[in-house]
Amino acid sequence: MSKREKYSFAAAPATAKKFWKSLEAKENPAAFAKAAEPEFPMGVGTVEDAASVSRRGFLTVATATAAAIGLEGCVRRPVEQILPYAQAPEYLNPGVPMHYATSVERRGEALGLLVTTHEGRPTKIEGNPEHPASLGSTDLLAQAMVLDLYDPDRSNAPKQGEAKKTFADVDALMASIVRTHSADAGAGLRILATPSISPSFLRLRAAVQQRFPQAKFYTWTPVNESNAREGARLAFGEPVVAHHDYQGAKIILSIDSDFLQTESGSIRSARRFADGRRLSQATDSMSRLYVVESTHSTTGANADHRLALAPSKITAYLRALAKELATAHRIELGPLGAALQGASNAGLPTKWISNVAKELVGARGRSVIVAGSRQPAAVHALVHALNAALGNHGATIVFSSVADTTETDQTASITAFAAGLEGAKTAIILGGNPVFDAPADLDLATKLARVETSLHFSGTHDETCHATKWHVPRAHELESWGDLRALDGTVTIQQPLIAPLFGGRTDLEVLAQLAGERNWRGYYVVRQTLRGAAGVQNGFESEWRRVLHRGFVAGSAEPPRPGVIDMSRVATALGRSEPAVDGFEAVFLACAKMLDGRHANNAWLLELPDPLTRITWDNVALLSPKTASELGVRNGDMIRVTRDGTSIELPAWKLPGQPDKAVGLLMGWGRKHAGRYGNDVGFDVYPLRRSDALHSAAVQVAKLAGSYPISQTQDHDSMEGRPIAIDGTLEEFKADPTFAIHRSPTPRTLPLWREVEYRGHKWGLVIDLGACTGCNTCVIACQSENNIPTVGKAMVAKGREMHWIRIDRYFVGEDANEPEVAFQPLACQQCEEAPCENVCPVEATAHSPEGLNDMAYNRCIGTRYCANNCPYKARRFNYFNWHTKNEADEEVPPTRQMQFNPNVTVRMRGVMEKCTYCVQRIETARTATKIAGRPMRDGDINVACAQACPSNAITFGDLNDAASRVSRQNQVSRHYKLLADIGAQPRTTFLAKVRNPNPEMSA
Amino acid sequence: MSEAHFTPVEEELAHGAESPIEYLGERNLLPPTMTMRQLTETVCAPTELKTPKAWWIGFGIALMGAGILGASVSWLLFKGVGVWGNNSPVSWAWDITNFVWWIGIGHAGTLISAILFLFRQKWRTSINRFAEAMTIFAVMCAGIYPGLHTGRPWFDYYMFPVPNSMVLWPQFKSPLMWDIFAVSTYFTVSALFWYVGLIPDLATLRDRSTGDTLPRKVRRFAYGFFSLGWRGSNRHWQHYERAYMILAGLSTPLVLSVHSIVSFDFATSVEPGWHTTIFPPYFVAGAVFSGFAMVLTLMLVCRSVFDMKDVVTMKHLELMNKIMLTTGSLVGYAYAMEFFVAYYSGNQYERYVFLNRAIGPYAWAYWSMIACNVIFPQVFWWKRMRTSIPVMFVISILINIGMWFERFVIIVTTLHRDYLPAVWGMYSPTIWDMGVYIGTFGFFFTCFLLFLRWLPMIALAEVKATLPNAHPRKSHAADHADDHGHDTNLAEEPTALPAE
Amino acid sequence: MQIFPKTLNILPLALAFVTFVAGGAVTGIVWFYFSPKNFQVGYAPEQPVAYSHRLHAGQLGMDCRYCHANVESSAEAMVPPTQTCMGCHTLVKAQSPRLQVVRDSWASGEPIEWVRVHKLPDHAYFNHAAHLNAGVGCASCHGRIDQMEVVAISQPLGMGWCLDCHRNPGPHLRPRDQITNMAWEQTASEEAVQALAANVHPPENCSGCHR
């Protein structure tokens, strides 16, 4: 077999118990190193699972045996080996994947997950249907997380400076730290962590605090909830979390909140929001969404009415609205009313004030006003006040307490940390990447350098590690024991799917060591916390097993409560308000893909098109078309954004709907030490982000000479008046519930060939454009399920991206500055009269009796005729061997192969590929049910995109089963077939989007 | 010609009409003074005299071109189709453009030799050999593309209906399959046709290569072998004529079928701008158009280089120009018709595609096509232009360019913007696209120059048959006078005459 | 001037004849020899441990599923872990030198490097569980393993061979309780066979086996 060097896999913790044993055995290094060797010397290098037939890399062997064409699989070269376990792990049935419940933290929310493992390799992440926060779906980042696990650039050893160390050294170091600070009671000990929602973390922090009374804890994460917390403190006297019922609300007003994508708890929000708008017949009603925002967000793209305002004007708008409510509509604001007298409508569209106010009052107790995390505390407070006055509290909005009540304002905290570093002996940084993403004015790097002992626990050897004395690998979330508290209080368990591939400690373990716990391994820590929390002493083991199985502690959610608001405190808070800026303002945006930069080395996310700009592999400065033309910049022209002295240079991009004079800057790009994919990709905007103004700031913008090449997956924004992503207003829908099919009628043409009669199953997919928020989660879900490669920026520019499902984004409407947006997820439509099938000279794509366009990769010779003849251009061609070497001849790392789904062929160069409705899942379920001796039921199979979709926009199932969800969706009056007039009889159905505009707004 | 078959012509001859040509209402194609002897000398000269320097230079360049082909193809096979500019949505680009272009070029030959033969167009005799050679080489070049444009060429054999352990047949519904059969049949028949026509002339060359030096012996053997022991006996002529006639009959439908079927690749698809019934005739006309243009281009060069003015006369050239004028106008009509039909269909996708051709990002390609194919050839309405060598030379080249653009327009500008605006894209070629294209030229001219050097570029025997002194009622003396003891070689005889 | 003597007039005929015969021969050779039947059948590599199926499955009459335990529930037949061997061989022939490799593996935890015998191309997704539960016996594809000292391939395992059965499964099916019975012979009547096949619908479309 090949000469590729073996990797070393750390042995599993000695502590592991039942759910862990399998992996412990699994991690038998030798076995795995063998397992990691590729089958074929010429090196598509596929991981040969112990004791399982390898299903992958076939196509490469085909090249090798090109001499003996057509005989691949017949001549036995090279000799292949089977490596059974020496000692078989419990429960493990080679060839049958297992699913474990775990969870991951996302912006203060705990997402319950179900992870699929093949012989111990986590390959696919799904949502845990029973978990309140994920509801069976995941977000974009959770889908991509599995690739981070196999990131080839993860650090594989502790380092002191650049010198490699062992974990023994780390333990010694920890011990010495404990010794030193036992002396000074921790006076010189500073610990910076990311804000935690883990009960164990809080418990251990208290313990450490107790042991070192003088030690100081700080928290920082660049995209945080501080403003919301402070706002709540102002309004209620305590930091509480608001839960909005987007389903029940009739009128939703978003004040710069991207609650559908980047805000905390977005999955649940998206699901509920969509649920409030699913129209099946004319009598149904739907909510109306007003969005006032300082950029063009995913939420804005789903708004019925959208107002783009420069960040500094948003407060003014809310005040004006409040005043209108108080004066014109006499809602009870108490002392607040007086504070609002100063508010003026200057520079604000009056219809947006009068109409919105009228609507809100009209929907008392059935409306929601939500403020985004970028908005200052005062705005959050005012929003709470208005919601209270409108009677929404307790109706559409309820509250629960936060995980960490002691958590202070992040900016204050990190500033204090930076200041406190003077005279600190030891600085321990748990996760995060503060040197890269902390406010630039704090200059952490130099301050850290002065500290005697500084450690950074992190997954990769990132910017912060270069500033600290020590770097210790931090276990990936899929490798860690932990517990998380969901927003609603549900205690969720995080259990490892695999032993840390390259070793690594978790935050809990570090704290446990500091706290001097004897059993400091995560496993014991979590059990101990749970034992305390769950309050079950007797029968704990069985409870523990139940919890691990379910993934969370049932019934641990805290009963939600209405808030008791204090108007006067809000009033005083409103007193201090920022003056409006005229001139340019920068808005610092949480990137839907990078979030704050933590995913910067994730090729899937890098290549994922931005929901609105469709840009891949880069971030840009978002400008409104008007502003751009004033500056005289075209797309891609370089501009300089300056904030007193400091300046960054990056390409400008016209985003219809971006507020004038507001420069949207996406955070998390331009990393220096992210890894092979993320280094120097995009442009770092953090230098402009200061502790005084974290979310938006006045800047100067200047056009520079020269421009920068940008790779987009879609460069044409208009639908050219074609009936593609069909949408209509509620009026149109009520007038004619079948308006969509009238715009895209199916012709009565005779079929070319004898029509197939689908006796057994008839797989179908229905996509509800009304529910689709355009968040792109399905794209990554498909990518991780179907072994879809990434191709790199240059190839995307050439139009060779490989995504099987893509989301087409069209701008609708006349005004380029106030566009409506139409999203359309598009994968292979599985046409019944498929144009692709008849033109393939070798019958590599043929029709299955269940109506799928089967794609036999191993038969495909790559004439690309099918792609030409596909009206939807849903087919993707492997122009190169993406899975072995990319176009730049960089080897694809072997760790990447560990993520591959063994049930899907890895396609080689020269082969056409496309969506198959996850046929591997269909066949697996078919066999399983056959063996179980029962027919396949609705829900036995779900395709990856549908499973991941947060808003349940995609439904898959058997159209021959009248009771199935997909059949019912297929009957919804909004349904239509895309490009039906071609007569290809697509199997996938779309449900037209219905907008709910307020007639008075246009009046 | 011979009495192998008794057409009305021969009947007439028997009853003492004028020479065959006159009978067909044509004037002498060659100067009346031209004797068979002179003809033989003129035609054989290039193959017998010392190789001219010009030939070596030309051959060197051509060989270099062929080298480029080798290099580009190796790189293509090593790296994958990705080295080309093809992408999604433009999955076919230069590869298929060049394929169709070369195939088109390859139409003139068989048209001239087969169809004109059946129509008794005597004037064809001066150019048919030449045109056929060009046809064969052009089809070879074309053949390179379908084979190599696939993602995994080493599996191309899946397209052949051979028994295999997978128990799988190719998909006969696919136009690509029809293509394979159409093109290979066309190539085979053209090649046969060409070779059969060569046999008597090869015999002539054989018989002229006397002497005992080694090169002479080799020549004699080679020509001797390939002339299959031709002796020009009555029986030989009889069989020859019959075979020739049959092959002509066979290849006539092929001339029309090949490009019709090539056009099916597009016409049977659902792409707006491709899915149209006008394609077959439109493609055939275009093919003949470009074919003649290429023949003319090459002909004009050789004519002057090898001093064939007396064999390939202005009359020939003018006739060819007329044909180009006709086919060019046919193509122009097709262009117009496409637009009208698109408008008339009321299908917004069709309409958009054609508007996009005329005013879209690739409009430059479209208008170059119109200019070269429709506008410039119109000058041939004037006799002065039809008969001016420089003019026709320039025009013929322009037409070749224009026809290349036609294929580019049909393929690329259709694909780059079809149904869903979200997937619209642009295409730009890479050096490897160009490498392969230039390479095919190299290959083409390599073959062609070899042909010029070693084979009679004019169909000797056939041209002789058009000479006045091929007329039955002319005295033998005249023949023998200019026969210089070559009477053993019956191939030198015009035709077997009815015994007196 | 002729280079061909008159005698060569036979040449064309001869040529035609040769082409015909030679062509036929070549086709035949390719057809037969370049086939899985020729390439696959009989492949019997040497194994690190001289494990005898004839002894275990044949003479001792152990059931296949004793070692290939999950074959009815998994796509993979599963080569047994060393554990399974040691289950007996800690007592039986505990000191046999032929079992040294096994004992080493057990001691070190290193896997035994068995050589794969039956291997389908990686793009063919064969599922043991599906076939066994449909009533296809081990012997149908693996031959009389119980008579093999060294395991060898006995069937072509080519696509055509698969399709033969997929198109007409009846004759290859047996009662569920007989699947591991190597010696089982089809004795049932035609009707009974078709009855067995009644609710077995093997896929004949691409995605049935290729994904």
Whether the link from the prior residue into A687 is cis, omega within 30° of 0, is: no
Q: pLDDT class for B129, splitting at 50, 70, 90?
A: confident
Of C36, C83, C127, the CB nearest to A74: C36
Q: By C-alpha distance, which of A502, A508, A507, A414 is closest to A456?
A: A507
Is B482 within a domain?
no
The answer, for A743 touching chain B at a CB cutoff of 8 Å, is no
Q: For the purposes of burial, counting CB atoms within 10 Å of the CB of B426, is it exposed (0-12), middle (13-18) or buried (19 or more)?
A: middle
Query: How many residue pairs from chains A and B have C-beta atoms closer than 8 A?
Result: 180
pLDDT confidence of residue B38: 80
C90 CB within 8 Å of a chain A CB: no
A473-521 pLDDT, tens digit each: 999 999 999 999 999 889 999 999 998 988 889 999 999 999 988 888 9
Q: What residues are paired with A639 via a beta bridge?
A: A650, A703
Q: Can you give the CATH number for the domain in which B31 is found?
A: 1.20.1630.10
Q: Note whether residue B4 is domain-resident.
A: no
As a whole number of angstroms, the distance between CA A985 and CA A853 comes to 12
Q: Give the H or E element holding residue B283.
A: helix B279-305
Residue A946 makes CB contacts below 8 A (sequence gap 6+) with: A765, A778, A952, A954, A955, A956
Residues A443 and A388 in one domain: no
User: C158, B166: Cβ pair inside 8 Å?
Assistant: yes
Distance, in Å, from the CA atom of C128 to the CA atom of C199, rounded to the nearest integer, reads 18
In a domain, B408, yes or no: yes
**pLDDT per position in chain C (211 positions), as tens?**
577 777 877 888 899 999 999 999 998 888 777 777 777 788 888 899 999 999 999 899 899 999 998 898 888 888 899 989 998 999 988 888 989 999 999 999 888 999 989 888 888 999 999 999 998 999 999 999 999 999 999 888 889 899 999 998 888 888 888 888 888 887 777 787 788 788 888 999 999 999 8
The alpha carbon of residue A922 and the mean position of all alpha carbons in its chain are separated, in whole angstroms, by: 26
Please list every residue in chain C whose beta carbon sits closer than 8 Å to the beta carbon of residue A74.
Answer: 35-36, 39-40, 158
With respect to residue B350, please indicate whether it lies within any of the assigned structural domains. yes
- A473 in Cβ contact with A505 (< 8 Å): yes
CATH label of the domain that carries residue A731: 3.30.70.20
Q: Which residues of B touch A810 (CB under 8 A)?
A: 421-422
Q: What is the pLDDT of residue A624?
A: 93
Residue A137's nearest CA partner among A928, A948, A990, A867 is A948
Q: For chain A, how many helices (H) and strands (E)?
A: 34, 40
Confidence class of residue B233 from pLDDT cuts 50, 70 and 90?
confident
* Together in a domain, A394 and A410: no
User: Is A488 in contact with A557 (CB distance < 8 Å)?
Assistant: yes
Q: Please check whether residues A246 and A188 belong to one and the same domain.
A: no
Q: Are A741 and A768 found together in one domain?
A: yes
Residues of B in contact with C3 (CB under 8 A): 206, 220-221, 224-225, 229
- pLDDT tens digits, residue range A415-466? 999 998 888 889 999 989 999 999 999 889 899 988 889 999 999 989 999 8
Q: Do the domain assignments include residue A4?
A: no
* A969–C contact, CB cutoff 8 A: no
Q: Give the chain C residue whose CA is nearest to the CA of B488.
A: C1
Interchain proximity A51–C78, CB inside 8 Å: yes
CA distance B249 to chain A (A): 30
> B16 vs A630, which has greater pLDDT?
A630
Picking from A863, A881, A887, A912 by the largest number of B CB atoms within 10 A of its own CB, the best residue to mutate is A863
Q: Which two tokens stand for residue A470?
A: 């020590």
pLDDT digits (tens, 9 = 90+) for B334-368: 999 999 999 998 889 999 999 999 999 999 999 99
When pLDDT is cut at 50, 70 and 90, the band that residue A25 belongs to is very low
Q: Are residues A390 and A310 in the same domain?
A: yes
Record the tokens describing residue C164, joined without a space.
């033969």
C108 in contact with A, Cβ within 8 Å = yes
Residues of chain A above pLDDT 90, percent? 59
CA distance C37 to B160: 22
Minimal Cβ distance to C3: which of B163, B167, B224? B224
Poorest-confidence range of A16-30, A249-263, A931-945, B30-44? A16-30
Using CA atoms of A463, A465, A466, A470 in order, give the dihedral in degrees to the nearest 10.
Answer: 170
Residue B390, in any domain of the structure: yes
Question: What is the ipTM for the molecules in this complex?
Answer: 0.88
Q: How far is CA B366 from CA B220, B294, B357, B375, B408, in A?
A: 52, 21, 6, 13, 9
Give the range of the structural domain holding residue B326, as residue numbers without chain letter.
Answer: 13-472
Report the C-alpha gap between A600 and A669 in whole angstroms. Answer: 7
Domain assignment present for B7: no
Q: What is the DSSP letter of A458?
A: E
In this structure, what token pair is assigned to residue A963? Answer: 């009771």
Compare CB distances from C3 to B165, B168, B220 and report the shortest one's residue.
B220
Q: Which of A61, A80, A88 sits opposite C83 (nearest CB)?
A: A88
pLDDT, tens digit, for every residue of A297-346?
A: 999 999 999 999 998 889 889 999 998 888 888 888 888 888 888 788 88
Q: Please report residues of A whose CB lies closer than 8 A to that of B175.
A: 839
Looking at the complex, does the CB of residue C102 fall below 8 Å from at least one CB of chain A? Answer: no
Contact call for C4 and B167, based on CB within 8 A: no
Residues of B in contact with A824 (CB under 8 A): 422
**What's the pLDDT at B81?**
92
Asked whether residue B208 is domain-assigned, the answer is yes
- How many other C-beta atoms can be found within 10 angstroms of the C-beta atom of residue B341? 15
Residue with tokens 């091929």: B470
Measured CA to CA, the distance from residue A608 to residue A615 in angstroms comes to: 8
Q: Do A880 and B79 touch (CB under 8 A)?
A: yes
The H or E element spanning position B337 is helix B314-345
Cβ atoms of A647 and A709 within 8 Å: the answer is no
**Residues paired with A189 in a beta bridge:** A426
Residue C180 in contact with partner chain A when CB distance is under 8 A: no
Which of A401, A428, A451 terminates a domain? The answer is A401
DSSP class of residue A891 equals B
Q: Give the separation between CA A733 and CA B460, rounded to whole angstroms.
A: 81
Cα separation, C101 vs C98, in Å, equals: 7
Closest-CA distance, A843 to chain C, in angstroms, reads 10
**A856 in contact with chain C, both atoms CB, cutoff 8 A:** yes
Tell me how many residue pairs between chain B and chain C have CB atoms under 8 A apart: 33
Q: Is B485 on the interface with C (CB under 8 A)?
A: no
Angle at B384 between CA B381 and CA B390, to 5 degrees: 105
- Alpha-carbon distance of B88 to C171, in angstroms, equals 48
Helix/strand/coil (H, E, C) string of B462-478?
HHHHHCHHHCCCCCHHH
Question: Tens digits of per-residue pLDDT, A921-952?
Answer: 999 999 999 888 898 999 899 999 999 999 99
Q: Based on the domain organization, do A786 and A877 belong to the same domain?
A: yes
A706, A733: one domain: no
Q: Which residues of B366-398 are buried (b: 16+ CB within 10 A; e: fewer)?
A: bbbbbebbbebbebbeeeebbebeebbbebbbb
C41 contacts chain A (CB < 8 A): no
A80: distance to nearest CA of chain C, Å? 6
**Domain residues of chain C, as ranges?**
6-34, 53-79+116-208, 83-113
Q: Report which DSSP code applies to C57.
A: I
* Residue A693 vs residues A255, A575, A633, C30: alpha-carbon distances, Å: 18, 18, 27, 78
Q: Is residue A306 within a helix (H) or strand (E), and if so which, with residue range?
A: strand A305-308
Q: H-helix or E-strand containing A809?
A: strand A806-812
Q: pLDDT tens, A844-891?
A: 999 999 999 999 999 999 999 999 999 999 999 999 988 876 655 567
The lowest-confidence range among A812-821, A874-883, B185-194 is: A812-821
Q: What is the DSSP string of A142-201?
A: HHHHHHHHT-TTB--S-EETTEE--HHHHHHHHHHHHHHHHHTTTTTEEEEE-----HHH
User: How many domains would you assign to chain B?
Assistant: 1
**CATH code (residue A466):** 3.40.50.740
Number of domains in chain A: 4
* C-beta atoms of A61 and C133 within 8 A: no
Element (H, E) at A968: helix A965-971
**Residue A877 and residue A802 share a domain:** yes
**Spatial CB neighbours of B166, under 8 Å, sequence gap ≥ 6:** A70, C158, C159, C160
CB spacing of C211 vs A56 below 8 angstroms: no
Q: Length of chain A in residues, anyone?
A: 1003
b/e A125-151 (16+ beta carbons within 10 angstroms → b): bbbbeebbbbbbbbbbbbbbbbbbbbb
Nearest residue, CB atoms, B152 vs list A795, A810, A862: A862
Q: The tokens 């000191």 sit on which residue?
A: C95
- CATH number of the domain encompassing residue A245: 3.40.228.10
Strands A367-371 and A251-255: parallel
Q: Which of residues 715-734 of A touch B (CB under 8 A)?
A: 715-722, 724
Give A767's Cβ-side CA count (13 Å radius): 27
In the sheet with A159-160, reading across from the earlier edge strand, the strands are A163-164, A159-160, A470-473, A453-458, A426-430, A189-193, A216-219
Residue A179 to residue A186: CA distance in whole angstroms: 10
- Check if A810 contacts B (Cβ < 8 Å): yes
Cα diameter, chain C = 94
How many CB atoms are located within 10 Å of the residue B304 CB? 11
Model-level pTM? 0.88
Interface of A with B in 493-522 (CB under 8 A): none
Considering the domain architecture, whether residues A397 and A417 belong to the same structural domain is answered as no
Min mean pLDDT across A242-246, A576-580, A600-604, B173-177 is at: A576-580
Q: Are B197 and B246 in contact (CB under 8 A)?
A: no
Same domain, yes or no: A372 and A299: yes
- Between CA A994 and CA A971 the distance in angstroms is 16
Range of the domain at A853: 726-751+758-999
Q: Is residue B352 in some structural domain?
A: yes
- Residues in C closer than 8 angstroms to A916, CB to CB, are 207, 211
Chain B residue closest to A824 (CA)? B422
CB–CB contact B152 A909 (8 Å): yes
- SS3 state of residue B447: helix
Report CA-CA distances (Å) from A260 to A46, A103, A662.
38, 20, 22
Let me know: does A245 contact A575? Beta carbons within 8 Å.
no
**Is residue A857 assigned to a domain?**
yes
**pLDDT tier, B29 (very low <50, low <70, confident <90, very high otherwise):** low
Q: Are A768 and A278 in contact (CB under 8 A)?
A: yes
**Residue A78 has what DSSP assignment?**
S
Check if C177 contacts A (Cβ < 8 Å): no
Residues in B touching C159 (Cβ below 8 Å): 165-168
Cβ–Cβ under 8 Å, residues A675 and A152: yes
Contact residues on chain A for B81, CB-CB shorter than 8 A: 862, 877, 879, 909-910
**Which tokens sit at B480?**
């023998």
CATH, residue A626? 2.40.40.20
